[in-house]
C-alpha cells in the first residue's frame, strides 16, 4: 500500500514548469499519434506541408539561437530578443495549418519550436511568488506628459512600497510629486529626471554618469531595518524602430555599459536597481547589467510581467533587479496616467551575513 501511495503522489504531485512541459510534450505526442493513425494509408501525408515544416524548423532555430542573430544590421538581434516571447504565438498558427494540410511532416516539425519555447519561457508561466520579504520596492516611469501627476503619485504610494523610484520627472512636475508623496515618504531625493522616495533614511545620494550629458541615473544608500542597501535608479535612453535604420539603440547600449560598470564598482554587497531600462532581460545589449543582477520577475514573479505600453503591454522594459538580495515576489501595479505600468517587488534584505 505504501508503494502504491508513493506512485500515486509521484504521478500526480508534480506542478513545476518542468512537469508541465513534460506533460504538454506527452499530450502533443499522443495527439500526433492519433492523427497519424487516422491518416494512415494516405500516401501524401509526408509530402504535404513541407514549407510549413521548414518554417517550423526556422522558428525553432531563431528561438534557440537568438543570441547568434547579429546586431550589425539595424540591431536585428536586440529587436528579436525584445519581443522573443511573442514568437511563441506562431506555434499554434503552424499547428493549425499543419492540421488543415493533414501534414505529418509539419506536425512533427512544430514540436521543435514548442519544446524550445517551453525551455526558454516555460518557467515564467509558473507562479513563483512567495509571502516573505522584509522590504517592498516599486518603480514607475511616470511619463513626462502625464496629465495627472498627483493622481499617479497617490496611486503608486497606495501600493505600500517602502522605497519608490520615479523616472521621467519633468522639472515643473517635481513639486507636485513631492507634495503628493510627502505624507507617505519621509525621505526623498531627485537627481535630474529621476527620483527616489523612501520611508527609511537615505544617505550618500549622488548622480550616476551613464554617458548622456544630462542626469538620468542616481544612487543612494537606504538604511533599512535589516541594514544598508544600495539603491540605483536609472532611465536608459529610449530606442526607436525605423524602416531606414532598424532598431536604433546605440546610445541606450552605451548607457547600459556605463550603468553596469557603476554597479560592478558598488562597495555595498546588497544592491537593488529600479528603473526603465528600455530593454528586456533577453536583450544582449543590457548584458553589462543583467550578467551581474537577477530580475525579480524572473526569480519570483508570475507570468511575463510586461510593463509597456500600459494600454496593451508587450514587453517588460521596466525592471527591478537585485544583487545580494533575495527576491520573494514581483508583480505589476494597476495602470496610472502614464504609458508604462508601475512594477513592484518584495525582497529580503539580510546584511548580517
DSSP per residue over 16-66, as a string?
A: SHHHHHHHHHHHHHHHHHHHHHHHTT-TTTTTTTHHHHHHHHHHHHHHHTG
**Nearest in space to 259 (alpha carbons), one of 227, 228, 291:** 291
Class of domain 135-348: alpha beta
Compute the radius of gyration of the chain from its Cα atoms: 24
Q: What angle do CA 305, 323, 206 make, to 5 degrees?
A: 100
CA distance 202 to 16: 40
Q: Are 144 and 170 in contact (CB under 8 A)?
A: yes
Dist CA 278 CA 239 (whole Å): 7
Name, in order, each residue with C-beta under 8 angstroms of 217's C-beta and a sequence gap of 6 or more: 191, 192, 194, 207, 208, 209, 210, 232, 233, 234, 235, 255, 259, 262, 275
pLDDT at 7: 37
Domain residue spans of the chain: 2-125, 135-348
Q: Calculate the CA dihedral of residues 39, 40, 44, 47 and round it to 10 degrees.
A: 90
**pLDDT, one tens digit for every residue, the chain (353 residues):** 444 433 333 344 455 555 666 776 777 777 767 666 666 667 788 888 999 999 999 999 999 999 999 988 778 888 899 999 999 999 999 999 998 988 889 999 999 999 999 999 998 988 888 888 999 999 999 999 999 999 999 999 999 999 999 999 999 999 999 999 999 999 999 999 999 999 999 999 999 999 998 999 999 999 999 999 999 999 999 886 654 444 567 899 999 999 999 999 999 999 999 999 999 999 999 999 999 999 999 999 999 999 999 999 999 999 999 999 999 999 999 999 999 999 999 999 998 86
Euclidean distance between CA atoms 348 and 7, whole angstroms: 37
What pLDDT was estimated at residue 4?
Answer: 42
Joined together, the cell numbers standing for residue 163 give 522605497
SS3 label, residue 300: helix
Predicted pLDDT of residue 242 = 55
Residue 160: is it exposed, middle or buried by C-beta count within 10 angstroms (0-12/13-18/19+)? exposed
pLDDT for residue 10: 37
Amino acid at each position: 500500500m505504501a508503494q502504491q501511495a508513493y506512485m500515486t503522489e509521484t504521478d500526480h504531485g508534480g506542478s513545476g514548469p518542468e512537469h508541465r512541459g513534460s506533460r504538454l510534450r506527452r499530450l502533443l505526442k499522443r495527439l500526433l499519434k492519433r492523427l497519424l493513425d487516422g491518416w494512415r494509408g494516405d500516401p501524401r501525408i509526408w509530402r504535404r506541408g513541407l514549407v510549413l515544416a521548414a518554417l517550423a524548423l526556422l522558428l525553432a532555430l531563431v528561438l534557440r539561437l537568438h543570441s547568434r542573430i547579429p546586431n550589425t544590421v539595424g540591431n536585428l538581434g536586440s529587436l528579436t530578443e525584445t519581443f522573443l516571447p511573442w514568437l511563441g504565438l506562431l506555434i499554434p498558427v503552424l499547428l493549425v495549418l499543419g492540421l488543415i494540410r493533414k501534414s505529418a511532416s509539419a506536425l512533427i516539425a512544430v514540436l521543435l519550436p514548442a519544446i524550445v519555447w517551453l525551455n526558454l519561457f516555460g518557467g515564467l508561466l509558473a507562479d513563483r511568488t512567495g509571502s516573505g520579504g522584509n522590504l517592498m520596492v516599486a518603480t514607475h516611469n511616470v511619463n513626462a506628459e502625464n496629465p495627472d501627476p498627483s493622481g499617479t503619485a497617490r496611486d503608486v504610494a497606495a501600493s505600500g512600497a517602502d522605497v519608490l523610484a520615479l523616472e521621467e520627472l519633468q522639472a515643473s512636475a517635481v513639486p507636485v510629486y513631492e507634495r503628493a508623496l510627502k505624507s507617505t515618504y519621509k525621505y526623498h531625493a531627485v537627481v535630474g529626471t529621476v527620483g527616489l522616495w523612501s520611508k527609511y533614511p537615505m544617505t550618500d545620494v549622488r548622480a550616476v554618469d551613464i554617458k548622456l550629458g544630462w542626469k538620468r541615473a542616481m544612487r543612494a544608500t537606504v538604511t533599512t531595518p535589516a541594514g544598508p542597501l544600495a539603491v540605483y535608479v536609472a532611465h536608459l535612453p529610449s530606442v526607436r524602430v525605423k524602416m531606414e535604420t532598424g532598431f536604433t539603440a546605440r546610445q541606450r547600449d552605451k548607457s547600459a555599459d556605463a550603468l553596469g560598470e557603476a554597479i560592478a564598482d558598488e562597495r555595498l554587497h546588497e544592491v537593488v536597481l529600479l528603473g526603465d531600462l528600455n530593454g528586456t532581460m533577453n536583450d544582449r545589449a543590457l548584458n553589462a547589467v543583467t550578467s551581474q543582477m537577477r530580475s525579480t520577475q524572473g526569480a519570483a514573479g508570475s507570468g511575463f510581467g510586461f510593463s509597456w505600453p500600459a494600454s496593451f503591454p508587450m514587453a517588460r522594459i521596466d525592471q527591478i533587479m537585485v544583487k545580494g538580495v533575495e527576491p520573494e515576489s514581483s508583480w505589476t501595479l494597476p495602470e496610472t496616467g502614464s504609458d508604462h505600468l508601475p512594477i513592484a517587488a518584495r525582497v529580503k534584505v539580510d546584511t548580517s551575513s
